[in-house]
Amino acid sequence: MVNITHKSNTLRKAVAVASIIVSLQETIRAINEKRVPKGDVFSFAKVAALFAVKKTDTVIPDCHPLPVEFTDVRFSVHDLCITVEVEVHTIYKTGVEVEAMHGAAVAALTLYDMLKPIDPHIEIQQIKLLSKSGGKSDRKNTEAINAAVVVCSDSISQQKATDKAGLAVVDKLKQWQINTLHYTIIPDEVTAIQTAIREFVNNNIQLLIFVGGTGVSKRDVTPDVIKPLLEVELPGIMEQARSYGQERMPYAMLSRSVAGFIQNTLVLTFPGSTGGATEYMDALFPAVLHALSIRNNEPH
């Protein structure tokens, strides 16, 4: 199976449809008048669709088992066409498109099976996804955002170690079409951090990410320097990041990261480990970019 452990749970929805064409108007009348020998066609097909949605992972090899929070099966008839519409909701790491399509497909097959004795020319014409929502594809960044990444580390600034976490953040930003105009390394010093903030805020950098110095050692001063400078603190951002990290390793709770706005620059502080920094990117992006839209007075 595809690894989805880096994803976050979100409300995901999908609607799929299947179309069945009968050859006789008498077939439609038999359905409406409940004269089909095998029974109530729509009731049977609805139950079959519900079972299919819940059992998708057992018949489609790469589908993950997931909690199905809601399923609705709807039927409509237009002339000789019967349409089955299946809507599925979940709160999980991956979408429910295949579950909805599987439900629609099995409902269509059930209709075919029940109607073929009275209409041998019935056809299943199409099964397709009508809509989906809730994944990261819904929140693609369409704005031109300029970013700066500042690595705070005594050892890296002294060339006793090499940076991996900051470069990993730069690579992740590329995935969201965010241009990193500045990448720099500074020591864990109060004045160096303050100077970097002034420089990038005054140069209209919209997204400023500090990597490192968020732990509990005596040299970890990044949050202590940045928090008093925040004009609008956004505690929920780092609450989400820590919660996401804690589900993956037991020390995420020790992070003292902060986030907020200084003028119109969104400032984020990430851990200095490569794993921690990439986890914060996975936890926060692209949803965190909505803060920039709101700050720019764009409609919610």
Residue 140 CB contacts under 8 Å (≥ 6 apart), including other chains: 176, 286
How high is the pLDDT of residue 1?
Answer: 87
Look at 58 and 297; give whichever has higher pLDDT.
58
Percent of the chain with pLDDT over 90: 88
140, pLDDT greater than 60: no
Task: Please state the rounded mean pLDDT for residues 124-153.
Answer: 84
Task: Give 50 or 5, the one with higher predicted confidence.
Answer: 50
Q: Is the pLDDT of residue 14 over 70?
A: yes
Q: How much is the average pLDDT of 138-156?
A: 83
When mean pLDDT is compared across 4-8, 99-103, 244-248, the lowest value belongs to 4-8
Which residue in the list 113, 119, 163, 282 is annotated as catalytic? 113
- Confidence (pLDDT) at 109: 98
The pLDDT-based confidence of 139 (bands split at 50, 70, 90) is low
Please name the residues in contact with 184: beta carbons below 8 A apart, sequence gap of 6 or more. 148, 149, 150, 151, 196
Per-residue pLDDT tens digits for 68-89:
999 999 999 999 999 999 999 9
Residue 151 vs residue 9, higher pLDDT:
151
161-189 confidence digits (pLDDT tens): 999 999 999 999 999 999 999 999 999 99
pTM, rounded to two decimals: 0.75
- 299: pLDDT strictly greater than 60: no
pLDDT at 134: 85
Residue pLDDT, tens place only, 195-253: 999 999 999 999 999 999 999 999 999 999 999 999 999 999 999 999 999 999 889 99
Residue 154 pLDDT greater than 90, yes or no: yes
User: Per 3-state DSSP, what percentage of the chain is helix, strand, and coil (rounded to 5)?
Assistant: 40, 25, 35
Does 113 qualify as catalytic in the annotation? yes
pLDDT band at 7 (very low <50, low <70, confident <90, very high): confident
Mean pLDDT of the chain: 94
Mean pLDDT, to the nearest integer, of 26-38? Answer: 95
Q: Residue 138 has what pLDDT?
A: 58
Structure confidence by residue, pLDDT tens digits, 103-115: 999 999 999 999 9
* Banded model confidence at residue 254, pLDDT cuts 50, 70, 90: very high
